[in-house]
Amino acid sequence: MSRFALPALALAVLLAAAPAASQTPMDDPLDARDGRRVERMEKVVRELRAIVFQGRDKGVPVVVQPADTDARMQDLASRIGDLEQTLRRLNGSLETATHELDVAKRESTALQAQVKAMADRLAAAEVKLAEPPPPPEPPVEAAPAASAADAFGTARKLMLSGDYDAAENAFAGFVEAYPDAARTPEARYWWGKTLTVRGAHASAATAYIGAIRGWPQTTWAPDAVVELARSLVALKKPADACQTLAELGRRYPKPPATVASRAAAARTQAKCA
């Protein structure tokens, strides 16, 4: 498409002046310079008319563009701004891609190190499998089983040293290994003590019941009865605790003073009548 760009103001002036110039009477004499000026103006007008009419006949519009330097500068500045924004976006995308590439390189390096370490382990395993197996070691003779007295003494030492967890296991093992030994009821009593320390009152009550079965006449039996009553109080069975304390008075009428004092405290806790 052809475009004919002319300043708007000049085109308007020339088109308006054309009829006037053509109709201006030429009776007055003109000097040579004014005559040449008029001739040039008429020539320009004729050329402009030819351009306009030619564009009209051909159906091609005549585009008149204003000679506005400021508008062009603003348009140029706007385009430059757009280019700068595009460049900033490209720089941002480039920085992101560079960062992602660095991360991928680091991950690739770490993965290669892991693969190498795994390959080394596999190679070492293959070498080890290829070696002949070592000769079997001679069987170790089992140590002779400890006697009941030794097992009981070991458990008591653990308890006296304050290692209640180890003592609990030792007394439980003694009861299981020597269920009919002479000191098994006493082992149950001490076993109940270790259970009471860690708050296992139900298991402790079972251990105490096994210890005082038959109401043995021993130094530890009255205290075992009191410990059973205290476990029942902790289990929120005050009636059973009171009944147990009543048996204490019948079975062991003269308990040690410390045991009697602890029994009185248990009666208070159980709110015995």
63: enclosing H helix or E strand:
none
pLDDT of residue 5: 44
Q: How far apart are CA 187 and CA 107, in angstroms?
A: 63
The answer, yes or no, to whether residue 35 has pLDDT greater than 90, is no
- The tokens for 230 are 């205290």
* Residue bearing the bigger pLDDT, 87 or 214: 214
Superfamily of domain 148-270: Tetratricopeptide repeat domain (1.25.40.10)
Q: What pTM value is reported for the model?
A: 0.48
Mean pLDDT across the chain = 78
Domain spans of the chain, in order of start? 8-58, 68-130, 148-270
> If you average pLDDT over each of 41-50, 107-116, 153-162, which comes out highest?
153-162
- The tokens for 62 are 């005549």
* Count of CA atoms in the C-beta half-sphere (13 A) of 86: 6
122: pLDDT confidence band, cut at 50, 70 and 90?
low
| Chain segment 38-61, per-residue pLDDT in tens | 788 888 788 777 776 766 666 666
The answer, yes or no, to whether residue 235 has pLDDT greater than 90, is yes
Q: How far is residue 240 from each of residues 53, 153, 272, measured CA to CA in Å?
A: 127, 33, 10
